[in-house]
Amino acid sequence: MALLFKSIFDKPEEWLRFLNDYGANVEMRVWPETGPAEDIEFALVWRPEPGDLKRYPNLKAIFSIGAGVDHIFADTDLPKGVPVCRIKDTDLTAQMSEYAIYGVLHYHRHMADYARAQSESAWRKFPRGDTTRSRVGVMGIGEIGGDTARKLAALGFQVSGWSRAPKAIEGVECLHGAAALPRFLGQSQYLVCVLPLTPNTEGILNAKTLAQLPRGAFVVNMARGRHVVNEDLIAALDSGHLAGAMLDVFHKEPLPADDPLWKHPKIIVTPHIAGDLNPRTCAMQVAENIKRLRRGEALLNIVNPAEGY
């Protein structure tokens, strides 16, 4: 039996080497050269083609090449009863936290202002930010968001976290549910979005919610592009209600060259680099799940299809 691999961003031979180093002992078929459909027992994929995974009658598990699984559940014709597993990786979590911390500090220490001053050869100082009186709001406080919130709190920021269900993180004010969202937003001078993309979170950063942020707030989005209504974000920046935004994810990737986000003076664009999966560390989880399947044991990091994460 074989493992189906599909990703335009990753090297299949690298994944295969580490999978087998960790004891998976699998043969890999790289999409679309899958061979006989009945040979496929596992799928390790990023953005599978709609309907494709249903073609494999012996498929036992689907593994996401990524922390998020919205790219898998975008296929409305997934095979029923086949578990979907996400990756939880300490290396990826650390990368994402680094990006969020950089984004907050970039704005907190006026680095964009100093870059503009340098372009004008102007020796100009800007008001010092008071870290202990500045509040960062982290939307989504699961594995990655929780790590981000803890690290920002360790730097001395006041930190709030918001999630669908109750959470508890030492040193972080944890809020949850729709009723608490306006309060959470209203106190977030720096907003970091790390939410999973689900039908309930798509478009969550829109004209109404962005207006609830304090005037002069900054947004850092490293979750998914479809969390943001781009037209509403640009309007909030143009009006002066928001002071800046750092965006790593977009509705369409690569971001088209004519997209207005590229040239907006208050927006920083990065090409989905906040966190890249490291096959060396991530293959261990996939290999462990393959071994568990063969032993008839419970899988790690199974996603709840009803919740989407």
Q: What is the pLDDT of residue 66?
A: 86
Query: What confidence tier does 8 reach under pLDDT thresholds 50, 70, 90?
Result: confident
Range in 51-60, 140-149, 222-231, 300-309 with the lowest mean pLDDT: 300-309
Q: What is the pLDDT of residue 53?
A: 98
pLDDT of 306 strictly over 90: no
Residue 165 pLDDT exceeds 90: yes
Sign of CA dihedral 150, 213, 197, 307: positive
Structure tokens at 77: 């014709």
Residue 309 has pLDDT above 90, yes or no: no
17, 183, 241, 272: the catalytic one is: 272
| Residue in 224, 226, 227, 264 annotated catalytic | 224
Output the average pLDDT for the chain. 97
pLDDT tens for residues 108-164? Answer: 999 999 999 999 999 999 999 999 999 999 999 999 999 999 999 999 999 999 999
Q: Where in the chain is the domain with CATH 3.40.50.720?
A: 2-89+277-295, 91-269
CA distance 188 to 159: 8
Residue 177: count other Cβ atoms within 10 Å of its Cβ. 12
Rounded distance, CA 301 to CA 303, Å?
6
Q: How many CB atoms lie within 10 A of CB 86?
A: 21
Which H/E stretch holds residue 229?
none
- pLDDT score recorded for residue 192: 99
The total of other beta-carbon atoms located within 10 Å of residue 294's CB is: 13
Given CATH 3.60.15.10, say whether it is the number of domain 2-89+277-295: no
Is 272 tagged catalytic? Answer: yes
| 10 band by pLDDT with thresholds 50, 70 and 90 | confident
Q: What is the 3-state secondary structure (H, E, C) of 149-174?
A: HHHHHHCCCEEEEEECCCCCECCEEE
Written in H, E and C, the secondary structure of 70-102 is HHHHCCCCCCCCCCEECCCCHHHHHHHHHHHHH
pLDDT confidence of residue 288: 98
Q: For residue 218, what are its two tokens?
A: 């900054």
pLDDT beyond 90 at 35? yes
Report pLDDT for 11: 93
pLDDT recorded at residue 158: 98
Give the pLDDT confidence score for residue 204 in this predicted structure: 98
Are 217 and 134 contacting, i.e. CB atoms less than 8 angstroms apart? no
Average of pLDDT values for 76-97?
96
pLDDT tens-digit series, residues 224-279: 999 999 999 999 999 999 999 999 999 999 999 999 999 999 999 999 999 988 99
When pLDDT is cut at 50, 70 and 90, the band that residue 79 belongs to is very high
Query: What secondary structure letter does DSSP report for 207?
Result: H
Pair of tokens at residue 253: 């990737």
Structure-block tokens of residue 99: 């990006």
Check if CATH label 3.40.50.10150 holds for domain 91-269. Answer: no
Q: Is 224 a catalytic residue?
A: yes
Confidence (pLDDT) at 281: 92
Tell me what pLDDT residue 308 has.
85
